[in-house]
Chains A and B, each alone.
Chain A
Amino acid sequence: MIENLLFWTCCLVTVTGAIGAATMRNLFHAALMLGLCLAGVAGLYLFLEASYLACIQVIVYIGGILVLVLFATLFSSDIKGAVQRTPLWLRLSGLVGAGLAALVAGRLAQIAIAHAANLDRTRSQPGQLPDVIDGTRAIGDLLVGPWLVPFLVAAMLLTAALVGAVAIVTRYRRKP
Chain B
Amino acid sequence: MSIPGPDSLSAYLGVAAVLFSAGVLAMATRRNAIGVLLGLELMLNAAALQFAAYGRFRADGLDPQGQTAAVFVIVVAAAEAAVALALLFAVYRTSKDVDLEQTRELRS
Contacts and interface: CB of A to CB of B under 8 A. Distances in A.
Contact of B32 (A14, A78, A160): A78
Interface stretch (A88-96, A121-129, A131-139): A131-139
A15 B14 CA distance: 10
Contact of A21 (B3, B22, B67): B22
Interface in A83-112: none
Contacts of B48: 41, 53
Interface in B58-108: 62, 64-65, 67-68, 70-72, 74-83, 85-90, 92-94, 97-99, 106, 108
Categorize the interface residue count of chain B.
35 or more
Contacts of B76: 154, 157
B14 to A, nearest CB: 8
B38 A69 contact: yes
Given A15-B18, A139-B64, A168 B87 contact: yes
Contact of A41 (B3, B22, B49, B79): B49
* Chain A interface residue bracket vs B: 35 or more
Interface of B: 3, 5-6, 11-12, 14-15, 18-19, 22-23, 25-26, 29, 32, 34-35, 37-39, 41-42, 45, 48-49, 52-53, 55-56, 62, 64-65, 67-68, 70-72, 74-83, 85-90, 92-94, 97-99, 106, 108
Given A11-B11, A22-B29, A169-B86, 19 more contacts: A7-B6, A14-B18, A15-B19, A22-B25, A27-B32, A41-B49, A48-B56, A52-B67, A60-B78, A61-B45, A61-B74, A69-B34, A69-B37, A75-B97, A138-B64, A142-B64, A165-B83, A169-B89, A172-B90
